[in-house]
Amino acid sequence: MNINSNLKKQNTYDAIVVGSGISGGWAAKELTEKGLKVLMLERGMNIEHIKDYDSAMKAPWEIEHAGRLTQEQKRTHPVQSRDYPYNEATEKWWVNDLECPYTEDKRFDWYRGFHVGGKSLMWGRQSYRFSEHNFEDNAKDGHGNDWPIRYKDIAPWYDYVEKFAGISGQVENWPLLPDGKFLPPMEMNCVEKSVKERLEKHYNNTRLMTIGRTANLTVPHNGRGSCQYRNLCSRGCPFGAYFSTQSATLPAAMATKRLTVRPYSIVNHIIYDKDTKKAKGVMVIDAETNETMEFYAKIVFVNGSTLGSTFILLNSTSDAHPNGLGNASGQLGHNLMDHHFRCGAEGTAEGFEDKYTYGRRANGIYIPRYQNVGSDKRDYLRGFGYQGGASRGAWHKEVAELAFGENFKETLSLPANSWSMGLGGFGEMLPYYENRVYIDHSKKDKWGQPVLAIDCEYKENEAKMREDMMYDAAEMLEAAGIKNVRTYDNDCYPGMAIHEMGTARMGNDPKDSVLNKWNQMHEVSNVFVTDGSCMPSIACQNPSLTFMALTARACDYAVKELKKGTI
Amino acid sequence: MDRRKALKNVAFLLGTAISSSTIGVLFENFGTYEGEKNQISFSAKEEEILAEFADIIIPTTKSSLGAKAAGVGDFIPMMVRDCYPANLQLLFASGMKEMLSKCQKDFNKDFLSLSGEERHKLMTDLTAEAIAGGKKPSFFMIARDLTLLGYFSSEIGCTQAREYLPIPGKYDGNVDYKPGQKAWAT
C-alpha cells in the first residue's frame, strides 16, 4: 500500500497532455508557462530536434531508392503508401499499418505519425485564419451545429499564436481570409505575378491571388533560423525554420523546467471518478513493454489527433459514461469531415522562356474562397480555395517519345522549354452525422486494444463543388493567358487531405455537442479537447493554425478556472 | 455549359498525351504489394549489360559522364529486386533474355560485343517496338525509366548533367535564364 501511494504521488501532475503534435505542443507550452507541472504523453518514439532528422541533409544520391518505396515498405505500410507523404526519405514519420490496423467501412486513408512532434514535423505548414463567414455558415445554412464562438473570440488568439509560431504572408484586407501578424511574405515568381495581375483585373478584384501564408520563417524569429529554400521540410528542418513541436513549443515548455515528456506511452482511456464527476487521470500502455500504468492530474488535455483523441474518449467507458466519456449527446465519433482536393487545372505560360528560378520555395500561391459570397451564387453550399503555383520544371516531350542518346541527354540537362502553372482546389466538406467512427472490438492492435472503424464518404454537395473546382480553375488560368489548359480530377477519398476533423464537436448545447466554447467537455469539466476533433465545421482553409489558437485560448481558460477552483 | 464541355474534351486529349510516359509512371501503376519478392537475381555480367544498355540512353558526352559511370548498372537491378512486384520482376528478366537473343539473331553477336552503330540500331528497334506496343510495361520500359530515374538522382547526373544547389539560402522567381544554362537537379 505504501508503495502504491508513493507511486501515485510520483505519477501525479497538475496537467496531463495526451499527444505531442501541433496542439499538444501548444498545450504543453501554455500550461507550463502558466506555472503548471505537466506530463506530456506521446505514444511513439522520441525525436530529438535536428539530431533525429536522419535524411534532412542527404543529397539526392544518398537516398538509396531515389525516394521510391520498396515492396517491403508497401507490405508493412499498406495505407501510408497510398499517397505521396510516405516515401523513402520520410518513412520514419509514418506508422506501420500492420501494428495499428483500423476498419474501413468505406475507404478512408488514415495517415498517422507516432512520435514526439506528431504531424507537426510533416505538416504542409499552410496557415490561414478562419473568417467570420466560416463561424456563421453552420447557423446560416443549417448544416451541423452552430459554432459556440465567433471570429472576434478567436482573433486575439490567432494574433498570439502567429507571433510565436512565425507565419509569413501578405496583408490583403480580404474579408474571407483575415490578415494575421505576418513575417515578410515569400515572393511570387514572374509567372505567378503575371497571372495574379491578369486574373484580378479580369474578375474586377472580386477574386484574389496571394502568396501562400506559411509557417516557414522568412527572417530569423525567436532564436530560430530562417528558411533556406531547400524544399525538404518533410524530412525535418535542421534550421528550425518551420514551426514544429521540436523547433518551437517544446523548447519553450522545457525552458520552464515543469514539463515531463514520456514517449512510448499509449493512452488507452481516461479514468473517470464518479464521485467527483471528473477525470482523475489516464491509463497508459507502455508501447515497448506492454506494461500498464496510471497517471493522475487535475486537468487532462486530449490532443491525440482527431481520430486518436476520439478513440480514447470512446474507449473511456464507465457506468456514468457507457457510450464514451462525455458522450450523452451521442455526437462523439460523428460528423467526421476532411477537405476534398486533388482536382483543378493546369497549363503552360508562354513568354517567360528567358526567366528561371533560384532556390526552391516550399510554398505556393493561394486563392481564397469567393463562392457563395455576395452576388456569387452556386448550386451547392460553402466553397473552396485554391493552392497552386508556377514553375519551370525539367520535363521534356522527348521523355514520352522514348528518345535516347547524346542529344536526348543534353535536352534533359536543360530546364523545360516553358513554365507551367496549376491551381488545385481545396473544398469544404459539410458535417454529416452519419459520417462517423466507432470502436470495432473484433480486431486488436499490437497492444491488444480494440480498433477504430471509419464510415465516411463525400456526398452530393462535395461532388457538385468538385466540378467548379476544376472548371473555375481552368477559366481563371485561361483568363490569365495560360495556354494548353487542361482540367484534372485525380479522385479523392476522405483522409487524403490529412485534415480529418469534427468527431467531438464544440457547441453551446450539451444535447448536441461534446465540448463547450472553451473546448471543455460539457459533462467532465476538467477534460479539454483542442485538436481537430473539436471543429463543428472545417471551412476550406488549412486548419492547423486554428487548432493552435483554440488550444492557447483553452489553456488560458483552464488555468484561470483551476485557480478559481471551479474545475 | 458548352464552354465547360469544351474544356473537358481538351482535358481528355491532353491528359492521355501527358500521362503516357514520364519517369515513375510504371511505379504508380504497378507498384502495389503482391506478396512475393525477389523472384530474380542478377549476375555481374547482367549488371554490366544493364550498365551498357543505360549508357546507350544516357551516354558520356563532352559536358558530363553517362549512365554507366553514374552507377545505373547497379541501380537498375537493385530497384527491380527491391521495388517491383514479382510479376514485373519476371517480366523484366524474360524481356532481358529476349533482348539478348535478339542481339544474336540480328547481329550474330552478344550484347556486350555490339559496336556503337549496332547498339544504336538495337535501341532504335526496341523503341519502335515499345511505341507500337503502346508503351506497356516491359523490360525495355522499366529499364529505360530506371535509367532516367537513376541517372538524374545520381551524383554525376545531379552535379554534372544538371546543377545541384544543396542550400540555396534564398528564393528568386525572376532570374534571367542564360541560354544553355543547366536545369536545377532538384
Residues of B in contact with A66 (CB under 8 A): 75, 79, 149-150, 153
How far apart CA A53 and CA A38 sit, in angstroms, is 26
| Residue A487 with chain B: CB contacts under 8 Å | 7-8, 10-11
Contact check, Cβ <8 Å, B33/A78: yes
**B177 contact residues in A (CB cutoff 8 A):** 353-356, 415
**Using 50, 70 and 90 to split pLDDT, how confident is the model at B6?**
low
- CB within 8 Å: B181 and A414: yes
Rounded CA separation A237/A243 (Å)? 9
Q: Which chain A residue shows the shortest CA-CA distance from B141? A: A402
pLDDT, average across residues A512-537: 98
Question: Is the predicted pLDDT of residue A3 greater than 80, yes or no?
Answer: no
In a domain, residue A390? The reply is yes
Give the per-residue pLDDT at B35: 58
pLDDT at B9 over 60: no
Q: Reduced to 3 states, what is the DSSP secondary structure of residue B20?
A: coil
Name the H helices within B23-173.
Answer: 25-30, 44-57, 72-83, 86-107, 116-132, 139-152, 155-156
Q: CA-CA distance, A301 to A519, in Å (whole number)?
A: 10
- Reported confidence tier of residue A114, pLDDT bands at 50, 70, 90: very high
Q: Does the beta-carbon distance from A405 to B168 stay under 8 Å? A: no
Contact residues on chain A for B54, CB-CB shorter than 8 A: none
Chain segment A293-308, per-residue pLDDT in tens: 999 999 999 999 999 9
Q: Note whether residue A386 is domain-resident.
A: yes
Flag whether pLDDT at A1 surpasses 90.
no
Q: Do B83 and A68 count as a contact with CB atoms less than 8 A apart?
A: yes
The answer to whether position A164 is within a domain reads no
Region class of B24: left (phi > 0), else alpha (psi between -120 and 50), else beta:
left
> Does the pLDDT of residue A5 top 90, yes or no?
no
pLDDT at residue B19 is higher than 90 = no
pLDDT score at B33: 54
Which chain A residue's Cα is nearest to B10?
A486
A69 touches chain B (CB under 8 A): yes
| Residues in chain A closer than 8 A to B8 (CB atoms) | 487
- Is there a contact between B167 and A74 if contact means CB atoms under 8 Å apart? no
What pLDDT score does B11 carry? 40
DSSP run (H or E) holding A476: helix A460-479
pLDDT of residue A13: 98
What is the pLDDT at residue B14? 38
> Which residues make Cβ contacts (< 8 Å) with residue A97, sequence separation at least 6?
A76, A77, A78, A79, A80
The answer, for A76 touching chain B at a CB cutoff of 8 Å, is no
Report the range of poorest mean pLDDT among A381-395, B8-22, B118-132.
B8-22
Whether A556 is in a domain gets the answer no
pLDDT at B173: 98
Task: Place A8 in a pLDDT band, splitting at 50, 70 and 90.
Answer: confident
Residue A364 is assigned to a structural domain of this protein: yes
- Tell me the CB-side half-sphere exposure of residue A284, using CA atoms within 13 A: 26
- The 10 Å Cβ neighbour count of residue A103 is 16
Summarised one tens digit per residue, pLDDT across range B124-150 is 999 999 999 999 999 999 999 999 999
The mean pLDDT of A175-189, rounded to a whole number, is 97
Residue B50 in contact with residue B143, Cβ under 8 Å?
A: yes
What amino acid is encoded at A551 in this protein?
T
Q: Helix/strand/coil (H, E, C) string of A70-131? A: CHHHHHHCCCHHHCCCCCCCCHHHCCCCCCCCCEECCCCCCCCCCECCHHHCCCCCECCCCC
Q: If DSSP codes are grouped into helix, strand and coil, which group holds residue B8?
A: helix
Task: Identify the weakest region by mean pLDDT among A27-41, A410-424, B26-40, B70-84.
Answer: B26-40
Average pLDDT over residues A328-337: 98
Find chain A residues with C-beta within 8 A of B4's C-beta: 467, 471
With CB atoms and an 8 Å threshold, state whether B171 touches A361.
yes
Chain A residues in contact with B89 (beta carbon < 8 A): none
Rounded mean pLDDT of A13-30?
98
Measured in angstroms, the CA of B104 and the nearest CA of chain A are apart by 22
Look at chain A and report how many structural domains it folds into.
1
Hey, is the C-beta of B59 within 8 angstroms of any chain A C-beta?
yes
Residue A234 is given by DSSP the state G
Mean pLDDT of chain B: 86
Q: What would the mean pLDDT of A152-169 be, rounded to a whole number?
A: 98
Contact A471/B at CB under 8 A: yes
Cβ of A381 under 8 Å from any chain B Cβ? Answer: no
pLDDT of residue B34: 55
Which residue do the cell numbers 520520410 mark?
A90
**Could you tell me which residues come within 8 angstroms of residue B86 by beta carbon, excluding any fewer than 6 positions away?**
B34, B35, B36, B37, B39
Q: How many CB pairs under 8 A join A and B?
A: 196
Domain parsing of chain B, residue ranges: 36-161
- The alpha carbon dihedral of A235, A237, A238, A244 has a sign of negative
Q: Is A348 helix (H, G, I), strand (E, B) or coil?
A: strand
With cut-offs at 50, 70 and 90, classify the pLDDT of residue A80. very high
Sequence-ordered list of residues with C-beta below 8 angstroms from that of B101, at least 6 positions apart, any chain? none
Q: Is B182 on the interface with A (CB under 8 A)?
A: yes
Mutation pick from B3, B177, B182 vs chain A, by most beta carbons of A within 10 Å, is B177
Residue B13's pLDDT band (boundaries 50, 70, 90)? very low
Q: How far is B181 from chain A (nearest CA, A)?
A: 7
Average pLDDT over residues B172-178: 98
Q: Which residue, among A402, A28, A3, A546, has the nearest Cα to A248 in the 3D structure? A: A28
Q: Which of A66, A410, A416 sits opposite B149 (nearest CB)?
A: A66
Tell me which residues of chain A, numbers 218 to 247, contact chain B at a CB-CB cutoff of 8 Å.
228-231
Contact check, Cβ <8 Å, B172/A358: yes
Q: Is residue A422 part of a domain?
A: yes
Instruction: Name the residue among A314, A301, A282 with its Cα closest to residue A556.
Output: A301
Mean predicted confidence (pLDDT) in A60-68: 96
Q: Nearest CA of chain A to the CA of B45: how many Å?
A: 22
**Closest chain B C-alpha to A408 CA, distance in angstroms:** 8
Mean pLDDT of A113-127: 98
Shortest distance between the Cα of B59 and any Cα of chain A, in A, equals: 6
B109 C-beta neighbours (distance < 10 Å), count: 12
Query: What domain range includes position A467?
Result: 174-237+340-427+458-493
Percent of chain A topping pLDDT 90: 98
The pLDDT score that the predictor gives to residue A7 is: 77
Q: What is the pLDDT of residues B78-115, one digit of tens each?
A: 999 999 999 999 999 999 999 999 999 999 999 999 99
Confidence category of residue B12, pLDDT binned at 50, 70, 90 = very low
A418 inside domain: yes
Q: pTM of the predicted model, to two decimals?
A: 0.95
pLDDT in the model for residue A357: 98
> What does pLDDT average to over chain A?
97
User: Distance (Å, rounded) from C-alpha B70 to C-alpha A272?
Assistant: 63
Contact A413 B183 (CB under 8 A): yes
Kindly determine whether residue B168 and residue A189, on different chains, have CB atoms separated by under 8 Å: no
**B residues 133-172 closer than 8 Å to A (CB):** 135, 144, 148-150, 152-155, 158, 161-162, 164-172
Verify whether the Cβ–Cβ distance A395 to B78 is below 8 Å.
Answer: no
> What digits encode the pLDDT tens for the residues A409-428?
999 999 999 999 999 999 99
**Are A360 and B171 a contacting pair at CB < 8 A?**
yes
Whether the per-residue pLDDT at B31 is higher than 60: the answer is no
CB contact under 8 A, B161 and A412: yes
Residue B18 has pLDDT above 70, yes or no: no
Cα–Cα distance measured from residue B118 to residue B107, given in angstroms and rounded to the nearest whole number: 8
What is the model's pLDDT at position A9? 87
Q: Do B175 and A358 touch (CB under 8 A)?
A: yes
pLDDT tier, B36 (very low <50, low <70, confident <90, very high otherwise)? low
Give the mean pLDDT of B48-60: 98
Q: Is residue A273 part of a domain?
A: no
Average pLDDT over residues A9-35: 97
Tell whether the model's pLDDT for residue A144 goes beyond 60: yes
pLDDT band of residue A211 (cuts 50, 70, 90) is very high
Separation in Å, CA of A491 to nearest CA in chain B? 15
Answer whether A144's CB lies under 8 Å from A202's CB: no
pLDDT in the model for residue B16: 35
| Cross-chain CB nearest to A71 (options B22, B82, B169) | B82
Average pLDDT over residues A501-517: 98
The confidence score (pLDDT) of residue B37 equals 61
pLDDT in tens, A451-508: 999 999 999 999 999 999 999 999 999 999 999 999 999 999 999 999 999 999 999 9
pLDDT of residue B24 exceeding 90, the answer is no
